Amino acid sequence: QTLVAVLQFLRRSNLRESEEILRREARLLGDDLGAAALSPTAAGLLGAPGGDADSAVGEALLNRVTTAAAIAIGGSVSTVASSSPGVAAVPSLPPGKVGGGVVVEDQPDVSAVLSAYNQQGDPTLYEEYYSGLKHFIECSLDCHRAELSQLFYPLFVHMYLELVYNQHESEAKSFFERFHGDQECYYQDDLRVLSSLTKKEHMKGNETMLDFRTSKFVLRISRDSYQLLKRHLQEKQNNQIWNIVQEHLYIDIFDGMPRSKQQIDAMVGSLAGEAKREANKAKVFFGLLKEPEFDVPLDDEDEEGENEEGKPKKKKPKKDSVGSKSKKQDPNAPPQNRIPLPELKDSDKLDKVMNMKEAARRVRLGPECLPSICFYTFLNAYQGLTAVDITDDSSMIVGGFADSTVRVWSVTPKKLRSVKTAADLSLIDKESDDVLERIMDEKTASELKILYGHSGPVYGTSFSPDRNYLLSCSEDGTVRLWSLQTFTCLVGYKGHNYPVWDTQFSPYGYYFVSGGHDRVARLWATDHYQPLRIFAGHLADVTCTRFHPNSNYIATGSADRTVRLWDVLNGNCVRIFTGHKGPIHSLAFSPNGRFLATGATDGRVLLWDIGHGLMVGELKGHTDTIYALRFSRDGEILASGSMDNTVRLWDAVKAFEDLETDDFTTATGHINLPENSQELLLGTYMTKSTPVVHLHFTRRNLLLAAGAYSSQ
């Protein structure tokens, strides 16, 4: 009786959340207080929130629970409980939940979220509801069937989890057995994980499933199909499925023709459905930043090179760019000072000059002129090679290994030297011209340098553009910055407390991005010990992070099978790309900044237009995970390397011409991908039994590849 009073008080004071919690505990206490007293109350309470407009508001409230509110809820529950002396068992539970510092935020949060699964309807009838819907969809018109079949998977998962949460284990099991075979093949991995969740306790530990609950699964359905569905569901007596649809699915309606199965299959597959149209509407500055002017004294040959930047010849290189035709502001390029970038040092300018010289001698690639491929095989790595990177000028190669070492090799005849000790540095003549040579210690010259410091396998490595620094990220949760002049560790950036899967320096240096198991990507600067930006939004681990060539955007690929593009300036997610059917392991931006290529465990390479936010191509051919993707220096060829021991070259120019990117496509997601993978494939090159882990085009368009020889 006291419990009834408490519950009614909560209802009146509109503390929906705490009421849910208390009701959940009340169910647990059902045995103690006597079923008779409780069941009328329970039935009364359950009847009220179930199936009416209130529940939608309640669920909305629940879904927007923040950390602060969660603590307040925990507090209010305990005060309410203490005011009811009769209910002895209840006070014991809130302290149990409030125990432990961080857990306070977690537990009420989680239980509030999980208690969104009110016991609505009879568990034994779930199978009937589902098969009823299945029958309806299968009998509907062909054109609608494909779209409505999208409903099967999210409904199945939500209903199953509801049964598990309400502890109807046997019903849940039979429900699963009966219907899991009907789902699409690309959801099989998720279903397997789901099959291991048989008890309520299992659900609490699984972060990905919790995220699946709180985020709405997005479906894009045409208006006609939607009307059909709505009419059917509202006609039925018990609106079970309709409730679930309203609470857990977000249906993005578009006007137009229903999509065909093929079109839908291309776009679905991610953990949270597709992307809403608004998610891909923000303006993205995908153009490149202007190259800065040079006022370094150059010899004649270099002046020639500089003049190629578009300025008329026979004029002295001017500092201002007004008047040069190639220097008009690209409307798609970000303003130069949108994000602060480090200024160019003299060494950087020399680098750029070298770059331009090499570019002049670059081989023009195309379908008739394929690049030569030079493969660096790591021998005796015993499957421990986990990360590879090559400097931009192809002078050094670094390997990250599962034994937590980072090894740097020099690929050119010039050996790796470290700077002299301070004792010797004071002896040299600082004014001499070749001081940069003299500071190097000849005694330490060697081809290989081993860097020790991590305490777990090294999963990502990245050279800085000026070749002074090396980053490595590992399973121990830290990102380490190493100096390539002293070959020692300078800084350890701690922030992720979980394995960090990938890291990359910005193309201009100074910034770097890292992504890990905690489902966020972080932007750091080398001189800040804490991240500058946190990109949160993925539902599962962030497995791959890349900078856009203009350093204003970051692409992240994740195990939730989506690729997101984030704005560095304000941390917003500006694009969501769905379509892969497996975790994404490689990303590559085209050199002109307009396109993105992604590769995943499903063996497909997908091509995306960043400006419009659409999928524009699909390259099928690989049979295993694609771990390496790289565009050639001028963007004519896309090279992909995979675990199936091959490197494939694709014609990028052809893939990106004649794009249908009109408004209709963006609005409806009707993409018509041409089946031209075979035409675009320019060559397949097999290695003996070496999976390809990294690809790199040198400045002259020679393709370097790296991998570890695996004997099986």
Instruction: Give residues 457-486 in contact with other proteins (rule: CB under 8 A).
Output: 468, 481, 483, 486
Residue 497 near residue 538, CB atoms below 8 Å: no
Cβ 493 to other proteins shortest distance, Å? 8
Cβ 193 to other proteins shortest distance, Å? 8
Task: Count interface residues toward other proteins (CB under 8 A).
Answer: 71
Cβ 138 to other proteins shortest distance, Å? 28
Residue 221, token pair as written in the block: 């359905």
Spell out a b/e string for 230-247, using b for 16 or more CB atoms within 10 Å of the CB, else e. Answer: eebbeeeeebbbbbbbeb
CA distance 648 to 638: 8
Instruction: Report strand pairing: 533-536 vs 520-525.
Output: antiparallel
Instruction: Give me Rg for the CA atoms of the chain.
Output: 29
Complex with other proteins: residue 233 or 568, whichever CB lies closer:
568
218, 281, 226: which is closest to 258 by C-alpha? 226
Name the amino acid, one letter, at 242: W
Cβ 512 to other proteins shortest distance, Å? 12
CB atoms within 10 A of CB 101: 7
Subset of residues 328 to 367 that bind other proteins, contact rule: CB under 8 A:
339-343
Subset of residues 232 to 251 that bind other proteins, contact rule: CB under 8 A:
none
Cβ 422 to other proteins shortest distance, Å? 5
Helix 67-82 vs helix 16-28: crossing angle, to nearest 10 = 60
Query: Does residue number 421 form part of the binding site for other proteins (CB under 8 A)?
Result: yes
Q: For the chain, give the number of residues.
A: 712
Helix 101-114 vs helix 16-28: crossing angle, to nearest 10 = 90
Complex with other proteins: residue 211 or 303, whichever CB lies closer:
211
37, 36, 44: which is closest to 19 by C-alpha? 44
User: From the list 142, 278, 320, 527, which residue makes contact with other proteins (rule: CB under 8 A)?
Assistant: 527
CB atoms within 10 A of CB 135: 10
User: From the list 37, 445, 569, 667, which residue makes contact with other proteins (rule: CB under 8 A)?
Assistant: 569
Helix 101-114 vs helix 89-98: crossing angle, to nearest 10 = 120
Pick the stretch among 166-174, 492-500, 625-633, 666-674 that binds other proteins (CB under 8 A): 492-500
Complex with other proteins: residue 248 or 670, whichever CB lies closer:
248
CA distance 69 to 269: 34
Numbers of helices and strands, H then E, in the chain? 25, 29
Query: Does residue number 687 form part of the binding site for other proteins (CB under 8 A)?
Result: no
**Helix, strand, coil abundance in the chain, percent, nearest 5:** 35, 25, 40
Query: Does residue number 571 form part of the binding site for other proteins (CB under 8 A)?
Result: yes
Complex with other proteins: residue 129 or 566, whichever CB lies closer:
566
Pick the stretch among 13-21, 173-181, 400-408, 422-430 that binds other proteins (CB under 8 A): 422-430
Helix (H, G, I), strand (E, B) or coil at 184: coil
User: From the list 233, 402, 470, 539, which residue makes contact with other proteins (rule: CB under 8 A)?
Assistant: 539
Cβ 354 to other proteins shortest distance, Å? 22
Cβ 443 to other proteins shortest distance, Å? 10
Query: Does residue number 529 form part of the binding site for other proteins (CB under 8 A)?
Result: yes
Complex with other proteins: residue 373 or 381, whichever CB lies closer:
381
Strand (E) or helix (H) holding 211: helix 207-214
CA distance 705 to 388: 10
Pick the stretch among 5-13, 564-572, 686-694, 696-704 that binds other proteins (CB under 8 A): 564-572
Residue partners of 598: CB distance under 8 A and separation at least 6: 557, 563, 577, 580, 584, 586, 587, 588, 605, 606, 608, 629
Complex with other proteins: residue 210 or 659, whichever CB lies closer:
210
Residue 408 near residue 469, CB atoms below 8 Å: no
Complex with other proteins: residue 146 or 194, whichever CB lies closer:
194
Cβ 480 to other proteins shortest distance, Å? 8
CB atoms within 10 A of CB 315: 10
Subset of residues 53 to 92 that bind other proteins, contact rule: CB under 8 A:
65-67
Query: Does residue number 429 form part of the binding site for other proteins (CB under 8 A)?
Result: no
Cβ 190 to other proteins shortest distance, Å? 11
Cβ 76 to other proteins shortest distance, Å? 19
User: From the list 465, 537, 593, 613, which residue makes contact with other proteins (rule: CB under 8 A)?
Assistant: 537
Pick the stretch among 46-54, 430-438, 565-573, 610-618 that binds other proteins (CB under 8 A): 565-573
β-pair partners for 524: 512
Query: Does residue number 581 form part of the binding site for other proteins (CB under 8 A)?
Result: no
**Residues 184-203: x/- map of binding to other proteins (CB under 8 A)?**
----xx--xx-xx----x--
CB atoms within 10 A of CB 692: 27
Cβ 584 to other proteins shortest distance, Å? 19
Query: Does residue number 596 form part of the binding site for other proteins (CB under 8 A)?
Result: no
CA distance 381 to 169: 47
Cβ 445 to other proteins shortest distance, Å? 14
Subset of residues 93 to 112 that bind other proteins, contact rule: CB under 8 A:
100, 103, 105-106, 109-110
Pick the stretch among 148-156, 208-216, 328-336, 659-667 that binds other proteins (CB under 8 A): 208-216
Cβ 357 to other proteins shortest distance, Å? 27
Complex with other proteins: residue 13 or 572, whichever CB lies closer:
572
User: From the list 127, 207, 302, 392, which residue makes contact with other proteins (rule: CB under 8 A)?
Assistant: 207
Complex with other proteins: residue 211 or 392, whichever CB lies closer:
211
Instruction: Report strand pairing: 373-378 vs 703-708.
Output: parallel
Pick the stretch among 115-123, 346-354, 397-405, 517-525 that binds other proteins (CB under 8 A): 517-525
Query: Does residue number 431 form part of the binding site for other proteins (CB under 8 A)?
Result: no
Cβ 473 to other proteins shortest distance, Å? 16
Query: Does residue number 418 form part of the binding site for other proteins (CB under 8 A)?
Result: yes
Backbone φ, ψ for residue 684 (5° rounding) = -125, 125
User: From the list 244, 284, 471, 491, which residue makes contact with other proteins (rule: CB under 8 A)?
Assistant: 491
Subset of residues 616 to 645 that bind other proteins, contact rule: CB under 8 A:
none
Cβ 500 to other proteins shortest distance, Å? 12
Pick the stretch among 5-13, 131-139, 263-271, 536-544 that binds other proteins (CB under 8 A): 536-544
Cβ 438 to other proteins shortest distance, Å? 16
Residue 697 near residue 632, CB atoms below 8 Å: yes
Listed in order, strand segments (DSSP E) in 559-656 are: 562-567, 573-578, 584-589, 595-600, 605-609, 614-619, 626-631, 637-642, 646-651
User: From the list 36, 185, 423, 436, which residue makes contact with other proteins (rule: CB under 8 A)?
Assistant: 423
47-52 contacts, C-beta under 8 A, 24 or more apart: 49/118, 50/118, 50/120, 50/121, 50/243, 51/120, 51/239, 51/243
